Every structure is written in structure tokens, then in C-alpha cells.
């Protein structure tokens, strides 16, 4: 399975640019995120080691969670993780309930019609 970081086109362009260019070029966050300093992320936390709930602490953990937290630190924002059933990941993004999906989701041509993918890990 391939794991991906999904974003709306507007957020994709803004966040990808920020991670690479923010400090060097003074790139700005999307207006809503700049105001709230909050990025809402949908996650289906049943795919260890990528994303799962630690059985002892109940906390979200895994590679995707670590990646999201590192991005948030770099951007100076807070993340609001929203656990979701797999079937609700894409609708949550499309309706604006979340800003991005950071969870295992295969990059398929049909999904590219409405979503943008950053393919950051393949197995």
C-alpha cells in the first residue's frame, strides 16, 4: 500500500511552498490558517506503524503523526487531529471539515480529479 499526504489544491500549494520556502521567501499561510494558526487533519488511525493509537496512552502516534507534528512546528501552527472512518476521509476534506488528510490512502486517477496528492512514501 502507498501512503500519501492529501490536501486541497489551495492548501497543497500554500503548505508545500511554506515548508520549502517560508523563512527564506516570507511565504504566507492561507488566510484562515494564518488567522487561527490551526490546521485540521483527518486521520484513520488503524495502520501501524503509519498512524495508530498507542494502546497504553490512547494517543495518536506513528510516522504520519510525527510528520504532521514536524510540519506544524516548521509552520508555527497547531494541529487538530480528527479521527475518522476511512469512508469519511475524502468527504471531510471536500466539505472543508478538515484541511488535509494525513493517513494511508492510495493515489488513484479517479481520486486525482478532486484531490491533490503528495506521494511521500511508497512500500
pLDDT digits (tens, 9 = 90+) for 6-29: 444 444 444 554 455 444 444 578
The x, y and z cell numbers of residue 37, run together, are 494558526
Q: Which CATH class is domain 29-121?
A: alpha beta
Domain assignments of the chain as residue spans, ordered by start: 29-121
Q: DSSP H helical segments within 9-119, as ranges?
A: 9-25, 31-36, 63-75, 86-94, 109-112
For the entire predicted model, the pTM comes to 0.75
Written as tens digits, the pLDDT of the chain (123 aa) is: 444 444 444 444 445 544 554 444 445 788 899 899 999 999 999 999 999 999 999 999 999 999 999 989 988 999 999 999 999 999 999 999 999 999 888 889 999 998 888 887 776
Amino acid at each position: 500500500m502507498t501512503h500519501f499526504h492529501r490536501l486541497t489544491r489551495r492548501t497543497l500549494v500554500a503548505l508545500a511552498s511554506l515548508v520549502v520556502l517560508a523563512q527564506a521567501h516570507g511565504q504566507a499561510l492561507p488566510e484562515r490558517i494564518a488567522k487561527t494558526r490551526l490546521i485540521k487533519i483527518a486521520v484513520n488511525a488503524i495502520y501501524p506503524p503509519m498512524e495508530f493509537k498507542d494502546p497504553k496512552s490512547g494517543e495518536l502516534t506513528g510516522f504520519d503523526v510525527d510528520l504532521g507534528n514536524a510540519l506544524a512546528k516548521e509552520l508555527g501552527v497547531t494541529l487538530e487531529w480528527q479521527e475518522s472512518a476511512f469512508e469519511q476521509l475524502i468527504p471531510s476534506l471536500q466539505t472543508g471539515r478538515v484541511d488535509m488528510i494525513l493517513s494511508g490512502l492510495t493515489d488513484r486517477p479517479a481520486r486525482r480529479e478532486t484531490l491533490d496528492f503528495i506521494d511521500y512514501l511508497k512500500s
